[in-house]
Chain A
Amino acid sequence: MSELKDCPLQFHDFKSVDHLKVCPRYTAVLARSEDDGIGIEELDTLQLELETLLSSASRRLRVLEAETQILTDWQDKKGDRRFLKLGRDHELGAPPKHGKPKKQKLEGKAGHGPGPGPGRPKSKNLQPKIQEYEFTDDPIDVPRIPKNDAPNRFWASVEPYCADITSEEVRTLEELLKPPEDEAEHYKGWVPSFPQIPPLGKHYSQRWAQEDLLEEQKDGARAAAVADKKKGLMGPLTELDTKDVDALLKKSEAQHEQPEDGCPFGALTQRLLQALVEENIISPMEDSPIPDMSGKESGADGASTSPRNQNKPFSVPHTKSLESRIKEELIAQGLLESEDRPAEDSEDEVLAELRKRQAELKALSAHNRTKKHDLLRLAKEEVSRQELRQRVRMADNEVMDAFRKIMAARQKKRTPTKKEKDQAWKTLKERESILKLLDG
């Protein structure tokens, strides 16, 4: 309800002239009967009084007209909006009760969706006042308020599922199917691709050490280059490549590794020796002769093992070949099972996890691909059916036209011409054939 201050009306005081006070002659004349009549001399005063009455009456008339105009305009301003809405509601209130709501209906609904209607919870009316106003409207207007728009909302929500498939959608599907083929390349970049996981490569500490060294040398070379620019000398240091750096690093590592406890011999070798050698751990100080003796005892096995403590820096390949020979021997003896699987995997949990995930992904993507293929196939089929349905609709229209012509003819009380009959039959048959195609 609008507030009083919004009201453009001015509440005029419509009081008629009090003729008893203002128009005495007039009153007197009124009081007289017909017989007495009016004297001529009274005409003047009467005239004046009548003029007064007339002027007040006409003033009243003018004001009333102005106020009515304001009222009408005011009501029309609000009523227009409302009636406009109701008019459109009426149109939509009779939607075709097909099972195939069209896109146009959705647009029509969306177009007038913002238009408020009382009782629509999702209406985006900014002024709830207007809604209340509509509720208290004349009884005449009540039936025009849309009865039930639930079916409209239902069809609107179902629309995306039942709408026709467009060729664009089919094309999108096809494009979606393509990537599975180049998935491998796509993934290589950041995840180990499905066919292979790249080898571990250098450990990051080594790599970073390498890179840092290179950086420092580059900086030094740059400084030297700046200093020697005139001579045009490029220091030999700048040409250091990775190989040299590697050698440098290995040297430093080798120096670091020496104090390590671990011996260069392979794990199997160590285990074997442990089993064979009895070590006396109790007196480590007096161990020096014993290891020599044990070393001598087992000297038969491998002379190369005796100078264990002194000759630390054994040639590396030597120990490795020893290790592998022992392994082979043990496997041949049946003491050790041949290890088929690459040993590295068991130690590398990350890799194991990666492989598991990869396997999952592979399975999933394969599944997806099959589904997409199915979808594409179905979509293509549906598109062809849609075309057929479209033709059926056109045939329907033609049949309706023919029907109307015949009805008109019948109304005019003449038999439909042969031409009309033939046309009717033709359209009917056409429609039936299309329908058969559709159902078949």
Chain B
Amino acid sequence: MALVSADSRIAELLTELHQLIKQTQEERSRSEHNLVNIQKTHERMQTENKISPYYRTKLRGLYTTAKADAEAECNILRKALDKIAEIKSLLEERRIAAKIAGLYNDSEPPRKTMRRGVLMTLLQQSAMTLPLWIGKPGDKPPPLCGAIPASGDYVARPGDKVAARVKAVDGDEQWILAEVVSYSHATNKRHTLSRRRVIPLPQWKANPETDPEALFQKEQLVLALYPQTTCFYRALIHAPPQRPQDDYSVLFEDTSYADGYSPPLNVAQRYVVACKEPKKK
């Protein structure tokens, strides 16, 4: 019932998305023409080696048009991306709903433990599809974008991925990747943690081209998810990502290596958080 409506809703959204994409392309082809003009004017100005006021005003006009075009293009693209996010959230809801429904329906304990490989792929995918924060000029990256920490009174929503410090049965404390099911809700098989033991993972990727300040810098101490695991360990940033799709290159603290650090490993932006502990326990 709900699922069906969700499905149709999703279908709707998909159609809308398609339309948006088509619009985007129209917009882009239109602005293409203006950009070519600008290019030609630049060339002419450079060959003449003089800037006459005629050229200046013309250039101003061209720039203004190009600006308007770029803005329009951005708007449509943003709308498309929003649509995608909507669809995704709907999908997520559907999944959760299905899970819950499944839980109720099924009497057997659900064989929900995935195979490791599948989990890893999932993790990787989720890392990749973390939305990229592309702010408008003048926008600052919000909290939970890249390295920007969450605001003080941030409450993790259900479905958010977090790094949680849990106590394993043998007394060890470890930071693990977790998903918030609910806030201060106690259920079995779930960990109930105080807030300070939970660090929300970033919700947006930071774009190195536009917001380099939202990235962790070299030699910063962070908690990073060790590849192919679901545990966070302390690490030093070796190199921040160059392009939006790139990963951090980090050095994990590892006593099994000679200099105490592992060779550089790649970790997605999503799985790198600021480290609050002063020292490993």
Which residue numbers of A lie inside 8 Å of B, CB to CB?
1-4, 6-7, 9, 11, 13-16, 19, 26, 29-30, 32, 34, 37-38, 40, 43-44, 46-48, 50-55, 57-62, 64-65, 67-68, 71-72, 74-75, 133, 136-138
> Which of B11, B14, B125 has its CB near the most chain A CB atoms (within 10 A)?
B14
Which residue numbers of B lie inside 8 Å of A, CB to CB?
10-11, 14-15, 17-19, 21-22, 24-25, 28, 31-32, 35, 38-39, 42, 45-46, 49-54, 56-57, 59-60, 63-64, 66-67, 70-71, 73-74, 77-78, 80-81, 84, 87-88, 91, 125, 128-129, 131-132, 134-137, 207, 209-210, 244-245
| A40 with B84: CB separation less than 8 A | no
| A38 with B14: CB separation less than 8 A | yes
| B81 with A51: CB separation less than 8 A | yes
| A30 with B21: CB separation less than 8 A | yes
Q: Which residues of A contact B129 (CB under 8 A)?
A: 44, 47-48
| A3 with B18: CB separation less than 8 A | no
Can you pick out 27 interface pairs between chain A and chain B where the beta carbons lie within 8 Å of each other? A1-B51, A2-B51, A4-B49, A11-B46, A14-B38, A15-B39, A16-B28, A30-B25, A37-B15, A40-B10, A40-B91, A44-B129, A47-B131, A48-B129, A51-B132, A53-B73, A54-B132, A55-B132, A55-B134, A55-B209, A61-B74, A64-B70, A68-B67, A71-B56, A71-B60, A75-B57, A75-B60
| A50 with B81: CB separation less than 8 A | yes
Give the distance in Å from the alpha carbon of A211 to the alpha carbon of B131 in the complex.
Answer: 117
| B66 with A64: CB separation less than 8 A | yes
| B53 with A133: CB separation less than 8 A | yes
| A53 with B245: CB separation less than 8 A | no
| A62 with B53: CB separation less than 8 A | no
Give the distance in Å from the alpha carbon of A3 to the alpha carbon of B134 in the complex.
Answer: 37
- A62's contact among B31, B132, B137, by CB below 8 Å, is which? B137
Give the distance in Å from the alpha carbon of A40 to the alpha carbon of B66 in the complex.
Answer: 34
Please name the residue on chain A nearest to B132 by beta carbon: A51
Q: Shortest CB–CB separation between residue A320 and chain B, in angstroms? A: 101
| B74 with A75: CB separation less than 8 A | no
Q: Shortest CB–CB separation between residue A364 and chain B, in angstroms? A: 64
Please name the residue on chain A nearest to B26 by beta carbon: A30
| B35 with A48: CB separation less than 8 A | no
> Which of A2, A47, A71 has its CB near the most chain B CB atoms (within 10 A)?
A47
| A54 with B128: CB separation less than 8 A | no
Q: Which residues of B contact A7 (CB under 8 A)?
A: 51
| A138 with B70: CB separation less than 8 A | no
- B207's contact among A55, A71, A75, by CB below 8 Å, is which? A55
Please name the residue on chain B nearest to A75 by beta carbon: B56
- B77's contact among A3, A14, A53, A75, by CB below 8 Å, is which? A53
Q: Shortest CB–CB separation between residue B121 and chain A, in angstroms? A: 12
Q: A1-B52, A61-B74, A67-B63 are in contact. Are A51 and B244 (CB under 8 A)?
A: yes
Please name the residue on chain B nearest to A133 by beta carbon: B53
Q: A14-B38, A37-B15 are in contact. Are A47 and B81 (CB under 8 A)?
A: yes
| A38 with B49: CB separation less than 8 A | no
Q: Which residues of B contact A64 (CB under 8 A)?
A: 63, 66-67, 70
Q: Shortest CB–CB separation between residue B10 and chain A, in angstroms? A: 7
Q: Which residues of B contact A26 (CB under 8 A)?
A: 21
Please name the residue on chain B nearest to A52 by beta carbon: B244
Q: Which residues of A contact B91 (CB under 8 A)?
A: 40
Please name the residue on chain B nearest to A10 by beta carbon: B42
Please name the residue on chain B nearest to A62 by beta carbon: B137
| B52 with A136: CB separation less than 8 A | yes
| B125 with A44: CB separation less than 8 A | yes
Q: A34-B18, A54-B81 are in contact. Are A16 and B32 (CB under 8 A)?
A: yes
Give the distance in Å from the alpha carbon of A2 to the alpha carbon of B50 in the complex.
Answer: 6
Q: A19-B28, A54-B77, A137-B53 are in contact. Are A14 and B210 (CB under 8 A)?
A: no
Give the distance in Å from the alpha carbon of A26 to the alpha carbon of B21 in the complex.
Answer: 8
- A11's contact among B45, B71, B134, by CB below 8 Å, is which? B45
Q: A40-B91, A71-B59 are in contact. Are A57 and B70 (CB under 8 A)?
A: yes
| A4 with B245: CB separation less than 8 A | no
| B50 with A37: CB separation less than 8 A | no
| A58 with B14: CB separation less than 8 A | no
Give the distance in Å from the alpha carbon of A51 to the alpha carbon of B134 in the complex.
Answer: 8
| A50 with B67: CB separation less than 8 A | no
Give the distance in Å from the alpha carbon of A7 to the alpha carbon of B38 in the complex.
Answer: 16
- B209's contact among A44, A46, A59, by CB below 8 Å, is which? A59
| A50 with B80: CB separation less than 8 A | yes
Give the distance in Å from the alpha carbon of A62 to the alpha carbon of B209 in the complex.
Answer: 12
Give the distance in Å from the alpha carbon of A19 to the alpha carbon of B21 in the complex.
Answer: 12
Q: Shortest CB–CB separation between residue B93 and chain A, in angstroms? A: 14
- B210's contact among A37, A48, A58, A68, by CB below 8 Å, is which? A58
| A29 with B39: CB separation less than 8 A | no
Give the distance in Å from the alpha carbon of A376 to the alpha carbon of B136 in the complex.
Answer: 81
Q: Which residues of B contact A6 (CB under 8 A)?
A: 51
Given contacts A55-B132, A59-B210, 12 further A-B contacts (CB under 8 A): A15-B39, A54-B81, A54-B132, A55-B207, A57-B70, A57-B73, A58-B136, A59-B209, A60-B70, A64-B67, A68-B60, A74-B56
